[in-house]
């Protein structure tokens, strides 16, 4: 089946393990990029167990479930979040969403492609694991961010995910990008760097791939409080370490957004 490419840079935030901070990273990157004046579409691609809407307080309304099973258009599901961020919420608890057919996934991506024309960047928050959704969404992404924590199980699963993406690339001749790594819940910059270096060394040795580090985030009370109060820490006025770290990652993504060509002065 032909790959569906978006009309704006598409960034998939994923990670091998559950609970490592994928949604936290995706939501706050979305808010940060929107604060910087970009037109951002944030999509909850954790299809069976979506919860981005809870992190962002975007109210209730139609979800991707209504698109796949209710015949709604994707554009009818867009909600407005903080800083003018556009959010496509997913449904939760419908087991059919957890096992989309290739055709359903293809149609969803086609709709997303149409909608993406109105945005500067599209961010997807994915589920954990190496299921077909994650791998197929990664295959059409311009940038994949793999979130891990310093813990060995998370790091092992991050490697497993990168390996699965690599296998898919080879098997189907797809150009799946080598992911970039975000180390979440690190103690300090040294730990963030050493964890990312460890993962890169393993990938270089066994996969001949060299995933760069996109950044890191500290374990922080304001990150957790932001989630609990539905007010992402990217909105906070005082600039803590977590905000500096977030801006390092968002700065890298910003470079994917084409700048308008300046009009020629005659």
Ligand X SMILES: Nc1ncnc2c1ncn2[C@@H]1O[C@H](COP(=O)(O)OP(=O)(O)OP(=O)(O)O)[C@@H](O)[C@H]1O
Q: List the one residue from 6, 17, 23, 185 that touches Mg ion (CB under 5 A).
A: 23
Q: Two tokens at 53?
A: 């809407």
- Sequence-distant (≥ 6) Cβ neighbours of residue 183 within 8 angstroms: 148, 149, 150, 191, 192, 195, 196, 213, 215, 216, 217
**Which parts of 133-162 interact with ligand X (CB under 6 A)?**
none
Q: Is 241 in the site for ligand X (CB under 6 A)?
A: no
Residue 22 CB, shortest distance to ligand X, in Å, is: 4
Site size toward ligand X, by CB under 6 A:
18
Pair 116, 102: CB distance under 8 Å: no
Q: Is 89 in the site for ligand X (CB under 6 A)?
A: no
Q: How far apart are CA 100 and CA 108, in angstroms?
A: 10
Binding mask 30-59 for ligand X (x = CB under 6 A): ----------------x-------------
User: Cβ of 205: how many Cβ atoms within 10 Å?
Assistant: 8
What is the rounded end-to-end Cα distance, in angstroms, of the chain? 47
Q: Is 17 in the site for Mg ion (CB under 5 A)?
A: no
Q: List the one residue from 22, 79, 105, 252 that touches Mg ion (CB under 5 A).
A: 22
Q: List the one residue from 6, 23, 77, 200 that touches ligand X (CB under 6 A).
A: 23
**Which parts of 204-223 interact with ligand X (CB under 6 A)?**
217, 219-220, 223
Residue 75 CB, shortest distance to ligand X, in Å, is: 25
Cα 233 to Cα 152, 188, 225, 236, distances in angstroms: 27, 18, 8, 5
Q: Which residues bind ligand X (CB under 6 A)?
A: 15, 18-24, 46, 128, 184-185, 217, 219-220, 223-224, 227
């Amino acid at each position: 089946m032909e790959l569906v490419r978006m009309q704006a840079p598409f960034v998939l935030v994923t990670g091998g393990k559950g609970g490592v901070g994928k949604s936290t990273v995706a939501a706050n990157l979305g808010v940060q990029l929107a604060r910087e004046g970009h037109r951002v579409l944030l999509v909850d691609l954790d299809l069976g167990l979506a919860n981005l809407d809870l992190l962002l307080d975007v109210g209730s309304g139609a979800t991707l479930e209504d698109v796949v099973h209710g015949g709604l258009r994707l554009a009818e599901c867009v909600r407005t979040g903080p800083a003018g961020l556009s959010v496509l919420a997913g449904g939760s608890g419908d087991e059919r969403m957890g096992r989309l057919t290739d055709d359903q996934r293809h149609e969803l991506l086609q709709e997303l492609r149409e909608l993406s024309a109105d945005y500067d960047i599209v961010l997807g928050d994915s589920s954990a694991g190496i299921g077909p959704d994650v791998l197929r969404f990664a295959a059409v992404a311009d940038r994949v961010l793999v979130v891990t924590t310093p813990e060995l199980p998370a790091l092992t699963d991050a490697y497993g995910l990168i390996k699965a993406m690599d296998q898919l690339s080879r098997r189907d001749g797809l150009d799946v990008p080598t992911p970039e790594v975000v180390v979440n819940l690190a103690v300090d910059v040294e730990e963030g760097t050493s964890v990312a270096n460890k993962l890169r060394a393993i990938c270089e040795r066994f996969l001949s791939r060299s995933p760069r580090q996109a950044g890191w985030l500290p374990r922080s009370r304001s990150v957790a409080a932001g989630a609990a109060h539905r007010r992402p820490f990217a909105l906070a006025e005082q600039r803590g370490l977590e905000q500096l770290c977030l801006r390092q990652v968002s700065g890298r993504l910003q470079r994917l957004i084409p700048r308008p060509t300046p009009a020629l002065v005659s």
